[in-house]
Amino acid sequence: MLRVVAVGDVVKQFTSVPALAYVARHRQASTGSSAPAVQHRHSTGRSEVDLDLYVPILAIGVLGAAFAFFSLAASWLSGPRRYNRARLDSYECGIEPTPQPIGGGRFQVKYFITAMLFIVFDIEIIFLYPFAVAFDSLGWFGLIEMGLFILTLVAAFAYVWRRGGLEWD
């Protein structure tokens, strides 16, 4: 069980849960207080667990299961009842497969290059966001590392541009 007792500017936490005791010790160390932040109760061999801490997790699990159940029930109730050959195929898109591909065959390579470029620059943004958040604490080392990372991506972009990967016919 968790009790919070205010004593002056210091808040002491008494708990029997080890994880909360760890957090309380480090919180006490960061405030600079000399008073003990955690006092363990003497137990009778049985550990006390506060089940109220698990209620939000249980609620999310119940809501997720209810959403899945109602989504499946709604699709079953609103879906068509008749089956056809195209629906029973392993890949069903509404068009029955024919021996000749519709639309002239395979996609051209330039579409794959565009998709790969999108993925590369999308990953660049994923790495730039944490850098922007932690810029103050990284200092010059972080700035140089991010500069080299961006320089590498600019070189790849220049290579693709020079090879004509961005030109549309």
Do 57 and 51 form a contact (C-beta atoms < 8 A)? no
- Residue 154, classed as helix, strand or coil, is helix
Among 127, 125, 130, 116, residue whose Cα is nearest residue 165: 116
Spell 86-114 as b/e; 16+ CB within 10 A means b: eeeeeeeeeeeeeeeeeeeeeeeeeeeee
Distance CA 21, CA 154 (A): 49
96-112 per-position pLDDT tens digit:
656 665 555 666 666 77
- Residue 28 has which token pair? 């006490």
- The tens-digit pLDDT sequence of the chain (169 residues) is 444 444 443 334 444 455 555 555 655 555 555 555 445 555 566 667 788 889 999 999 999 999 999 999 998 898 777 766 666 666 656 566 566 655 556 666 667 777 888 888 888 889 888 888 988 898 899 999 999 999 998 998 898 888 877 777 6
Mode of pairing for the β-strands spanning 10-14 and 3-7: antiparallel
Do 15 and 38 form a contact (C-beta atoms < 8 A)? yes
Distance CA 53, CA 24 (A): 17
